[in-house]
Structure formats: structure tokens, C-alpha cells
Amino acid sequence: MSAASLGGRRIVVSAGPTYEDIDPVRFIGNRSSGKMGFAIAEAAARRGAQVVLVAGPVSLPTPSGLQRVDVRSARQMREAVIAQLPADVYIGAAAVADYAPAEIAPGKIKKKDERLTLALVRTPDILAEVAVHARRPTVVVGFAAETHDVEFYARGKLEKKKVDMIAANRVGVSGSGFESDDNALTVYWRDGERALGPAPKTALADELLDLILARWPA
Ligand code: CTP
């Protein structure tokens, strides 16, 4: 494995879940551990990049040599990411909630009827917004969690979100996924693809950075 330098590059990485508040004591979240995004940010910093890690609510220590910005909701993550542009690379490894409650109840919602309906609204798509931003990074990389038809959906996201690479989690592979230390990815770009792993997320992080560097040399 090469460890080509990323010196002088500015890389923004998002990681972890987002929590969308329902009321002062409840939220909608997901099981993202943040490990993949943290591993990418740590590897990039170790290789000399100037790294900003925008982290959702996770219980992970801050890797050395980078700037960490903690956020909670998709809306806050969007603000934090956009505020970091321009950058050379954006890697959207966060599992951003696609929907959030239409309103946050000011007080705790009390139980009443047998059925409660929660109105949800779409959150901003941070990855798609970064990809068409006036200060668009040179390289924009997204993640996708797919259970089936991985290539079809991953390539669809590549086109629809106008990004340069999609790293699809191969969720069927045993020992990989959200809480695991290992993962298996298939990375797609316009005219190619590469399967990475199964391997520790720390090793995959370096391999993903190598793929990015190989396609966008200094
Ligand atoms: N993403 C984002 N903002 C959102 C939703 C997703 O930036 N509001 C980013 C994620 O960080 C990730 C990619 O988009 O890089 C995931 O795309 P998404 O369309 O949400 O894919 P899936 O999670 O795989 O969901 P689905 O297949 O339901 O579309």
C-alpha cells in the first residue's frame, strides 16, 4: 500500500449519524458509528492533509492533527460543511438523516391516542449541494449503503448527485457495516470501479485516499 503525501490539500470529511429532534427528550437517529469517516479523516491527516472532520453525535476520540466540528442534526451538518468550503476534497461519509420532524415540539410529547403520526420533511442533501456549489471541491466523494443492485444504485447516485466517486458499502458481507471495525466497499466513478476489502476500516481509508489521489494527481 502506498502512502503518497496529501500535503497541502484541504480535505473536509463528514462522519457519523445525524440526530433529528422530535421533542426535548427524543430524536430520530441511525446506527452509524462514525468509524469509517473518522478513519478516513485520521488517515488523511497522517498523510499531511489539512483536515476538517464534521462529526455527528458519536462517541469516538478526536484523531490527532485535525480540526473537529461537532454537530447534531442534518441542518447543522450542512451549515458546518458549507462553512468549510472551499476545499480540495469533500468526502461525505456521514449517514445523514433523509427526513426530520416537520416541527420540534417545545415540550415533551405526552402519550394520548393509540396511534401517533409524525410528519417528516426532507433534509437538505449536503452531498448534492456541495457537488454543485460555486466553491465546489475538486473531488467530491459520497457513500451509499445498498443491500441489492449495488452498482445500479451507486451509479445512479453518481449521476444524480453529480459527484466524482461513490463508495458503496457492500452490506451483505459478514463482519462489515455500521458498528464493525471492518468494512467492504466497491468504489464507482464514471469509467471505472474498484472493490476494496473486506479489511479494517483504517486500511480501507488509505486505499480510498490512494484511489482519489490516483485519479487527481497534484
Ligand atoms: N447525504 C447527504 N445529505 C443527505 C443525505 C445523504 O449529504 N441529506 C450523503 C451521505 O453523506 C452519503 C450519501 O449522500 O455520502 C448517501 O446518499 P443517499 O441518497 O442518502 O443514499 P442512501 O443512504 O444509500 O439512501 P437511499 O438509497 O435511500 O437514497
Residue 135 belongs to a domain: yes
36-55 pLDDT tens trace: 999 999 999 999 999 999 99
Q: Provide the mean pLDDT of the chain.
A: 94
Portion of the chain with pLDDT greater than 70, in percent: 95
CB atoms within 10 A of CB 69: 17
Residue 32 belongs to a domain: yes
Pocket test for ligand 1, best of 14, 81, 98, 162 (most atoms within 8 A of CB): 98
Least confident of 3-7, 27-31, 41-45, 57-61: 3-7
- Determine if ligand 1 sits within 6 Å of the CB of residue 13: no
Compute the average pLDDT of residues 207-211: 97
Compute the average pLDDT of residues 123-127: 98
Residue 1 belongs to a domain: no
Portion of the chain with pLDDT greater than 90, in percent: 87
- Determine if ligand 1 sits within 6 Å of the CB of residue 66: no
1: pLDDT strictly greater than 50: no
- Determine if ligand 1 sits within 6 Å of the CB of residue 157: yes
147: pLDDT strictly greater than 90: no
Q: Give the count of domains, the chain.
A: 1
The whole-angstrom separation of Cα 186 and Cα 157 is 14
**CATH (domain of 19):** 3.40.50.10300
* 3-class state of residue 65 by DSSP: coil
- Determine if ligand 1 sits within 6 Å of the CB of residue 10: no
Least confident of 24-28, 109-113, 138-142, 174-178: 174-178
Residue 3 belongs to a domain: no
Distance 64 CA to ligand 1 centre (A): 28
- Determine if ligand 1 sits within 6 Å of the CB of residue 130: no
Which residue type occupies 99? Y
Pocket test for ligand 1, best of 20, 36, 126 (most atoms within 8 A of CB): 126
Compute the average pLDDT of residues 28-41: 96
Residue 5 belongs to a domain: no
| pTM for this entry | 0.95
Residue 162 backbone zone (phi > 0: left; psi -120 to 50: alpha; other: beta): left
Q: Are 144 and 169 in contact (CB under 8 A)?
A: yes
Residue 29 belongs to a domain: yes
Residue 72 belongs to a domain: yes
2: pLDDT strictly greater than 60: no
Query: What is the residue range of 57's domain?
Result: 10-215
Distance 107 CA to ligand 1 centre (A): 30
Q: Are 211 and 203 in contact (CB under 8 A)?
A: no
* 3-class state of residue 201 by DSSP: helix
| Strand partners for 91 | 13, 141
Compute the average pLDDT of residues 82-103: 98
